[in-house]
C-alpha cells in the first residue's frame, strides 16, 4: 500500500469539524464517496469504521494509528519519518 497515496486522499477530503489542543480531531463525512476514495488506495471499510460512527470518521486518528502519518503540519497530514 502506498502511504503517500492514502495521505493524498485523506488530505483531499472535506473536513466537517476539527479541533486542536490536547484532544485533537479532524472529522470528515462517513459517506459512500469518501469510503470509495479510501478503498481505491487500499483502506478498508473495517479500518474506516474503527475511527468513527455512522456520520463521521476522524482522519487524524486513522492516519496516525494506522501509520500513514506522523505529523500534522500546515493543515496537512504528512509522513516525515516512517516513509524514509
pLDDT at 82: 52
Distance CA 38, CA 48 (A): 9
All cell numbers assigned to 22: 490536547
pLDDT at 62: 98
All structural domains of the chain with their residue ranges: 3-78
From first to last of its 84 residues, the chain has per-residue pLDDT tens of 699 999 999 999 999 999 999 999 999 999 999 999 999 999 999 999 999 999 999 999 999 999 999 999 999 999 876 544
pLDDT at 80: 79
pLDDT at 83: 47
Helical residues (DSSP H) of 1-84, grouped into ranges: 3-12, 32-40, 45-49, 59-65
Amino acid at each position: 500500500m502506498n502511504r503517500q497515496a492514502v495521505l493524498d486522499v485523506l488530505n483531499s477530503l472535506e473536513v466537517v469539524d476539527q479541533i486542536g489542543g490536547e484532544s485533537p480531531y479532524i472529522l470528515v463525512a462517513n459517506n459512500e464517496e469518501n469510503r470509495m476514495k479510501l478503498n481505491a488506495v487500499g483502506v478498508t471499510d473495517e479500518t474506516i469504521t474503527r475511527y468513527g460512527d455512522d456520520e463521521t470518521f476522524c482522519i487524524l486518528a486513522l492516519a496516525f494509528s494506522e501509520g500513514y502519518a506522523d505529523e500534522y503540519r500546515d493543515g496537512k497530514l504528512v509522513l516525515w519519518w516512517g516513509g524514509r
